[in-house]
Each structure stands twice: as C-alpha cells, then as structure tokens.
Structure 1
Amino acid sequence: MGAAIVDPLPLHLTSRVAPELYDRILDNLHDSPSALSACSTVWRSWLPTCRYHLFSEVVLSQKFATFLRSRANQEVIPFIRKVIINGGWGDPNGKSEEDLFLLLGDLENLACLRMNRVVTWETHDLWRSVTLTAAGTPLSHRLSSLILRSVHFPSFSALALFISTFYNLRELSVEGVTWGSNVAHIEEGQLPPLETSVLKKLRIASCSFRPIILWIWPELASGRVIEEDHLTPPRLTHLALPEIFPNEGHLLGSLLRTLGASLENLEIGFLSHGSDNSDDRDMFSLVDLSYNTQLKTIACHQVVLFHFPFRDFSTTAFQSSNDPTSRYRWVTDILGTIQSRKILQVTFHVWLSAESQLDLINWSALIRILLSPPLAELRHLRFSVSGIGRDIDLVEVWFRRRFGQMLSSKAKLQVEFSE
C-alpha cells in the first residue's frame, strides 16, 4: 500500500498562523541540523529562527572561518553564541592563530568558548589586544563561560594570564589542563587576579586542584575562612571537584566552609587508595558539609569497586564494608555531615565488574544517612555505573537488594551506564 499524499494547506490559511507558532515548531527541531537547513529555505520569516539554532554552537575550523569571512555570510555572525576550538590550529608562522584571534573578536554575541586538545596555547599580545579592545563590548567582558579540556600551557602563569583576561566569567571548567615549568612573563607571586564577583560554576578535573584554587582565592592558603578576613566570600552555586587527593582535604574543607549557604550543587571524589596513613584518613573529617545549608544535589565520584586481579568479596563483605581504613569510608563520612534540608538528588559514580563488589560499601550506614531528617526531601537516587555490561535491569536489581524497602516510600532509584 503506497504512502498517502497530503496536500499542503492553502495559503489563505497558513498566512493567518501566528509567527510565534511557527517559531515553537522550529524550536523543536533544535537538534536536527538537516531539518533546520531544509526549513530555512522554505520561508524567509523562518530563516532567523533556523539560524538561531543552526549557528548557536559552532566548531571553529579553518573551513568554517573562511565561510564566516565571506561578505555574503556576515549575517550569520550575530547568531553565534558558543565556539568550540579543537586542536590543529596554528602554523609555523602563527598566521592562522592571528586569524583566529581576530575572528573571535568579531563574534559580537559570543558568550561561551570551549577549547579541546590544544597542544600549546600561549597568551599572545595580539590575543589580549583583541579581547580587550574589540569593537563594541570587548570579548573580555562578553565571555561568560570558559571551558578548557586537554589544553597545555607553557606555565601556570600563562594559564592564569589567559583565564584572567575575562572579567565576567560565570562558568569556568578546567579539565585535563597541564602546564610546564617554564618561567613566564609574571612571577608566581604576582599572578593576575581572577574576577570572581559573578563566578557561579567551577569545575576542576583531571588536573591539579590546589594551585588553581589558591590562585583564585589566595586567602585560603592560610586555612582560614575568607569571611574571617573581612573579604567578600565567593558565591559559587556549583562546584565540581571529582578527583581530590586525601592530603587536599584541608583546603577543600576551607573552601566549602567559605562557600557556605551559596553552594547548591556539589560534585566530589577522593582518589584514595586504601592507605594506612592515618593522616590521610583524618583528612576526610575536615570536609564538613554542615555549612552548606542550601545544598540541593550532591554527586560522589571515584567509588571504584573494581579490582584487578578480580577478587570475590562475598565472604568478607561485612568486614570490608565496616573497616575504618576502607578506601570507601569517605562516602559515608562526608554524606553524614549534610545538614541541608533541601537535598533533592544524590548521585554515585560507581565502577564495578561484579555484584559482590558492591558489598565493599557500608550499605547500612549509607541507608541510615539517606533516611536521616536532613535528607527528608530526597527524590532521586542515581547510580552511574561503569566497567560492566549493558544489562540495566540486572544491575538495578543488585542495588534494590541492598536498599530493601527503603525506596518504596523514599527516592526514585535510577541506574544508568556511563562510558
């Protein structure tokens, strides 16, 4: 049976449809570039909405840069709000980098810059000139989100100089960023300060946490709370530090105490390896969430239950889960300090290869915390699982066995697999 042919509505009807209705329909195509491209050629009035979605986020390659430089394509520039720069820019003469700097300065509505896998990035004088003196509002004041992933800087000073160029950052993400030991233009004791008055989201992952935090808030070096020094404390609402060494617990504790009630979303994880060093274990006690009374979500990373070579823990599960030197003790120790009455979601990022490994966690202590009065509003309990197959139903049963009847009247359990 052939497909039915549907005639289009007559013009005298379609011309009466409110433009807002067309916009709403086109908005639903935001993740379909091919459909948006097709719609952009149907009706001139649809073109701005299609361009809004097609060019809101772009990967700035040499080919696309050439496209933007064409006079015929200048109308696209106002729609670009996020730019992604991948590795591969640059030539021996630095000509393409200069072109890149100048092009970024011309993107009048650019709000987010993400850099991926850039082998070496130096803060050239031309870059500072473009960001500070671009036409209209300079890029240094326009950019509100900076995301650095796997970017190498010649020195920490170069990294600080680059980030501090932007005065209105609301989001800063530093992931897999490295720096050399080369002495840069600025001495370490004279690093340019970062304007943090509007900074709301901070993520530091797969790189050293301490130097970045102490550069942003040097007052924390003394271990004192910034408010005690009569300075304006940071107002972060989102903080993600998924990879912290135990000996950095003191600094983390000072930061969390300083953030106080402003913090609403926290991601945290300790790279603990079950050391017998009591000093390392005592560091967990310095991380106190009782000061963060407005917390709404918390995510625990680095719950790595997988062991190689594989061992079956079923016979020693009780002893392992209650061992005071356990590498997983920090999970219950830290969650047990929660005093916020607004917690809606708790997430655990778990790596395992067999059900028996789950018994390395002290489930009785964890359930006791989840049922405590501070978590009375808990609605979602999420487990993001890595290191095992894709049978979600089977793995979900493993978790339900350990929670028993707790979930029937409490939070909704969600189990998902991550790469």
Structure 2
Amino acid sequence: MSGTSALDRLVKKQRIDRGGRIYADAAFDTYATLKDFGRDLSASAPSPTTTHGLPKLPRDILFIILSKLQEDKHALQMCMFVCRTWLNECRSHLFRITHVSDALYPNRGLRNRSNRVQSFVDFLKGAASPGFCSSIRVLRLSGDQKMSEAHQRTRINITMLASVLESLPRLRVLDLWRIVLARETGPSRLRTHKFTLDALSMHQMSCSIDEAAGLFDVLGLFSYISTIDASYVDVPALTRPVVSGDTTGISSSFQVNDVRLKGCLRGQDRPEVRRLSTVGRMLEMLHDLPGTPNLRSLTVQCGVMGEVKVLGQFLTQVGKSIEFLAIELFELTREHIDPETVVQTLHLDECTQLKSLRLVIFPNTSEGSRNSAASVCFSLLIGTLSPKIRRLDVILGYNDMENLSTFKWEALQEAPWRRLKNLEAITFELMPHRSDSSIEMNARQFISNQLPTLRARDILKFDTKSFWY
C-alpha cells in the first residue's frame, strides 16, 4: 500500500462498525467521518494493491459478492484493498445501508450527546459528493432511547426531511426512530416535487406540533409509498376535526399499497385519550386523504372499541381494494363489548376482494364467560368474509390453561363455512399452546364435517405446541 489517503485513514480509525452505525472518536461525528470519505466517493482513487496477470472479475459477479456483504461493514472495508477493480464498488456498498444515531455509547467514549442527525443533514447539503448520495438505499435516523423528555430528543422538521429526500435520489427506505417532528421555524411552502419510497417507517416518534398538520405534511412529501409502517407514534391530545387546509399539500393521486399500524390503547387507558392512539390517528389520517389510496394490505391492532369503529369506517372507504388483512383484537372484552357488536362494527363484508385474513383475538381476562367470546366472535366473522378468500390464519388467546376449556367448538361448527368455496388452507392455533387428544379429535371431526373442499395436504398437522389445518 502506497501513500495515505482519506480511505486509509477511515479504515485505520475503524469509524464504521459491523452494525452499520457511523462513529469516530470521542469528539465524534458523522460529519467528521463523511467529510473524508463521502466527499470524494465518486472520484477514482489509487489502488492500494497492484495485481498483474489476473483477469478482471466480471462486474455482475462482483456486484453479487458485495451485495451479500452489504451488512458486514468490516468485510466491505477489507474488500477495498483487493485491487483497483473492487475499490469504487466497495465504497458505494459501504453506505448502501446507513444508520445515523444520536444514541449515547459510553463504551465507545461517546459520553456527551451531540446532534449527529443534524450534522448528517448539514453534510448532505454541503460537502457530500454525488457518488456518496446516490449510494444510499436505506437510511435510518434515530434519537436516543434514554431521552424521555420531548425537548431533549432528536428533532427534525418537514424542511429538513425534504432536504434529506432531495439529497438522496436513490433512497428506497426511510426509517425514523425516536424522532420528534418539530414545528417549522419559518413559513411552510407548498412543494410541487413529490418523492417515492418503497417503505416509510416511523417508530416511537412524537409530535411537538398539531398532529393533523404535521403528519399530513410528512405524507405530503410523497406521491407513492409502497409500505407505511407506524408503531407507537405519540400525538398531542388534540381532538379537533381535520380541515381542508391540512391536506392541501397531498397529491390527489397519492398511493400506498401496504399499511402496518401498531400501538393500540389498552383497556386501562384513560377514555379521553383513547382516540389519539397510533392506530386510531393514522387510520383517521388515511381516511381523510384526498382520493382513494390503492391499498392492497392492512395490518392493524385494536385495543379499544373506538379503534374498532375507526377501522370499520376505514374499511368502508377502501376495503374493496384490500387483498390481505391482519387484525389483532386485544382486550376488547374488558369493555364488556358484545361479540356481535364488534363484528358489525368491523364491516369486513366491505372487503370484497379479500384473499387472506390473519385474525388474532386475545381477551386477556380470567373470566370464562368472556373468554368464550373469542370463539363466538370468530364464528360470527366467518359469515361476513368474502367467498373469494383463500387463506385463513387464526389465533385465539386465553390467559391460562383452565380458561382454555371455555373454547366453544360448537360455535365454530355453526359458522357458515361452506360459503367459503375458494378456501385453500387454514392455520388455527389456541394459546397457551396445548397438546390434547380431545382438541385433536374435535379438530379432525370439525374439518371432515365443515371443510370438505380442503385437500389432504392442506388440512392438518399436529405438534406439541399447536395444531394447524
């Protein structure tokens, strides 16, 4: 190896760990790392090793090898020193998956919190080379999980988010963890250019601004998102209705194919804040979007009846396009809700193109009379499903072995199974797991009587933990 380049210094200081996080010394920062490496990423650099008499490896083979190593940063660093042919490809793969974190790592000498996310945004707007910016496909921005107060957490606003998207032309996945969506410091502007993403993830986020305007502004940056994944996104306790001005920046042709929502409220939560859960608020937002999203898949938790009502309203609007639906009904029996009311409120009959349903019902109560509501609720839901459905996955939860005895096979046997003429496979599980000859006997009898259309290979597989058919 001849000479000392920015690349050599980067590898010697081990500023990038195996997990893909960007580090330096105690004074750290993303900027310090990338100003050496990202600034000249697109420029050719002298090969640290000279080889003679060996044929060049075909580019497609090289690409396959490096793709397999893209999550192993140390291996990519070592590959840079093979020969000149490998250098630029390795450098582009090194930042393909980039994680910028404000978390504290005392074992790495990082005892004082510095805003690495802000430094990264500044770097993209300033010294970053086009080669570096075009190499990033997956970007995770995360705050410190130990910062409980909102004013201490990592904060970004819509302008900063738009700046990141503009700087990374080939970005496909944006993952936001423990970030506060902050108020704009200046007047907001209507952005005509819209971005597209394969996935937008928002986890453990909070809003220091009006949730309607703030979260609508995030969606207003995009014309298409394949998957929206939101879990435990806290919003202020504001219950005003959505007004037309909130959705001004959102394209009427905005499309999303897959929505996954987690973070429902539990029965012990205060009634006055129930409608402000992640699930309830995000469903309300999607319901109020201009146009009709071409939604194909929906995964959602419901912990209180208010969330079931919002879900039912949402399915009434967009259910006709949904092909895959996963619903977890959690602790609804704490509210003494009649199973028939739950079924009528869900409006699953609106999902006329539904091909696959995953249903999880956890009563989570020790009262046997209400535990039996799980099997009754599921039985009633069968009568609302589209005849086009092909796969059904069901988990019914009970909080102890004794209450498992309240499971009502007769309720399932009374369900109108024969209307599901296209059903090809079912998985069925009772929790807690139990191996019981009586359950096996009931299951086999139930299958032979009610589901004659299923082929033998699709029907039944028993093990010590659960039974499947």
Match of 2:167 among 106, 111, 125: 106
**1:330 to 2:377 alignment:** yes
* Match in the other structure for 2:255: 198
* Match in the other structure for 2:388: 341
SS at match of 2:379: helix
**1:298 to 2:344 alignment:** no
Q: Give the aligned residue type for 1:403.
A: A
How far is 1:64 from its partner? 7.8
CA contact (8 A) 2:379 2:414 kept: no
Q: Give the aligned residue type for 1:87.
A: G
* Match in the other structure for 2:221: 166
SS at match of 1:273: helix
* Match in the other structure for 1:146: 200
**1:177 to 2:217 alignment:** no
**1:82 to 2:138 alignment:** yes
Change in 2 beyond 3 A, CA 1:43/1:413: farther
CA contact (8 A) 2:140 2:175 kept: yes
Take 2:232 and 2:328, find their aligned partners in 1: how far apart are those partners? Answer: 16
**1:41 to 2:81 alignment:** yes
Take 2:99 and 2:398, find their aligned partners in 1: how far apart are those partners? Answer: 36
Task: Within 5 Å, give how 1:181-330 maps onto structure 2.
Answer: 181=237, 190-193=245-248, 194-195=250-251, 197-206=254-263, 207-218=277-288, 233-271=292-330, 272-276=332-336, 278=338, 281-301=340-360, 303-304=361-362, 306-307=364-365, 326-327=373-374, 329-330=376-377
Take 1:29 and 1:363, find their aligned partners in 2: how far apart are those partners? Answer: 51
Change in 2 beyond 3 A, CA 1:94/1:345: closer
Instruction: Note the alpha carbon deviations across 1:90-128, whole angstroms, 9 max, x for none.
Output: 99899985896555542222233222222x321425695
Change in 2 beyond 3 A, CA 1:29/1:396: farther
CA contact (8 A) 2:364 2:398 kept: yes
Take 1:411 and 1:43, find their aligned partners in 2: how far apart are those partners? Answer: 56
CA contact (8 A) 1:344 1:377 kept: yes
Take 2:150 and 2:370, find their aligned partners in 1: how far apart are those partners? Answer: 56
CA contact (8 A) 1:256 1:289 kept: yes
Take 1:32 and 1:24, find their aligned partners in 2: how far apart are those partners? Answer: 14
Take 2:154 and 2:232, find their aligned partners in 1: how far apart are those partners? Answer: 27
Take 2:460 and 2:65, find their aligned partners in 1: how far apart are those partners? Answer: 33
Which runs of no fewer than 5 residues in structure 1 stay unpaired?
Answer: 1-9, 220-230, 314-318
- How many residues get paired? 368
How far is 1:183 from its partner? 10
How far is 1:235 from its partner? 1.7
TM-score norm. by structure 2 comes to 0.61
Instruction: Note the alpha carbon deviations across 1:187-241, whole angstroms, 9 max, x for none.
Output: 856422544631212233312544443443349xxxxxxxxxxx95432001122
How far is 1:360 from its partner? 4.0
CA contact (8 A) 2:294 2:321 kept: yes
Task: Within 5 Å, give how 1:108-147 maps onto structure 2.
Answer: 108-118=169-179, 120-125=180-185, 132=191, 140-143=194-197, 145-147=199-201
Match of 2:211 among 136, 156, 160: 156
CA contact (8 A) 1:292 1:340 kept: no
Take 2:203 and 2:156, find their aligned partners in 1: how far apart are those partners? Answer: 18
Which runs of no fewer than 5 residues in structure 2 stay unpaired?
Answer: 1-50, 102-114, 264-276, 448-453
**1:57 to 2:57 alignment:** no
Take 1:238 and 1:49, find their aligned partners in 2: how far apart are those partners? Answer: 36
Q: CA RMSD in A?
A: 4.7
* Match in the other structure for 1:410: 458
SS at match of 1:334: helix
Percent identity between matched residues is 15
Q: Give the aligned residue type for 1:124.
A: E
SS at match of 2:357: strand
Q: Give the aligned residue type for 1:203.
A: R
CA contact (8 A) 1:202 1:238 kept: yes
Instruction: Note the alpha carbon deviations across 1:44-69, whole angstroms, 9 max, x for none.
Output: 44456555654333222355876866
Take 1:63 and 1:296, find their aligned partners in 2: how far apart are those partners? Answer: 45
* Match in the other structure for 1:227: none
Segment of structure 1 superposing worse, 257-266 or 93-102: 93-102
Take 1:37 and 1:368, find their aligned partners in 2: how far apart are those partners? Answer: 63
Segment of structure 1 superposing worse, 35-44 or 77-86: 35-44
Change in 2 beyond 3 A, CA 1:236/1:17: same
Instruction: Note the alpha carbon deviations across 1:246-270, whole angstroms, 9 max, x for none.
Output: 3454543343243244211112123
CA contact (8 A) 2:387 2:420 kept: yes
Match of 1:27 among 67, 83, 88: 67
